[in-house]
Homo-oligomer: A and B are copies of this chain.
């Protein structure tokens, strides 16, 4: 049998607060802590188990061998990891930060004895703080779990169980592949939307008066609060640079072809094929597969599942049921 661990959530903002609510609702023994007096008070008033401070929460985690969830913004990660190193240096540890390699690097540097498996629930709103969270925030969302060759199999299984308990499905991959993928499909869209909006506005009120659906859709996310977009994109600097370089190369090729031959076939046809692939993947028939999370080489099998566009949808003991197209 596989145990359901106790859960210690460090950080009670939108994501951490929603993790605490969702895990509690799923019957897990879970407590949290935050350095924000307002969030701590609000969570306590809502009836949740809130420790006096992160140190106390960590001491309880050590006593219960709980799974510790790092749920603070990227700039605050190092400071929290130093408390983990001081109080719970071999903790079972995961996180819900939106980039994975920078967090994995910080864990390796600051808490080398931690049994760490990274995660990223791909859900959120533009609001923040405990009050913005909910127990249902992750229902139907993808929760990326970083399955590395050195990952502790027990912690890997616990992180999968946590994600599924919140209503999410699990997309397994490596930290590097995660950061590359979200650079392409989550961060680059914000950069291109900003560029398109600015080029349109350069055309003045006339251009904006003539703007229709293609411009409105293409610039929608440029309306997101700039500080949120900057934090998200700048935190994934290395992988985002690759995506931007790919885009620059493709846009430059379109420019060259338009200037020399006047043709755009290669650009437009490639875009159409890609968009068609997205639509096809979304409606594809799914095939059920099972993966034994206790087996040797499970991390490699999980990464292969994610690379095929697959996802874990349920867990029974150590047997994960997954769907792939």
Contact = CB atoms under 8 A, between A and B. Distances in A.
A310 B269 CA distance: 36
Contacts of A44: none
Interface of A: 122, 142, 144, 171, 173, 177, 180-182, 184-186, 188-226, 229-230, 233-234, 237, 240-241, 243-248, 250-252, 254-255, 258-259, 262-265, 267-279, 281, 306-311, 325
Contacts of A263: 230, 234
B274 A222 contact: yes
16 contacts: A177-B206, A185-B207, A185-B215, A189-B215, A191-B267, A194-B270, A197-B275, A200-B274, A209-B281, A209-B309, A219-B278, A233-B264, A233-B268, A247-B251, A248-B255, A251-B251
A193 B222 contact: no
A278 B197 contact: yes
A316 to B, nearest CB: 23
Given A186-B215, A199-B250, A276 B191 contact: no
Given A206-B171, A247-B199, A255-B241, A191 B278 contact: no
Nearest to A284: B205
Given A208-B281, A210-B182, A274 B226 contact: no
B193 A218 contact: yes
Which of A173, A250, A325 has the most chain B CB atoms inside 10 A of its CB? A250
A222 B216 CA distance: 14
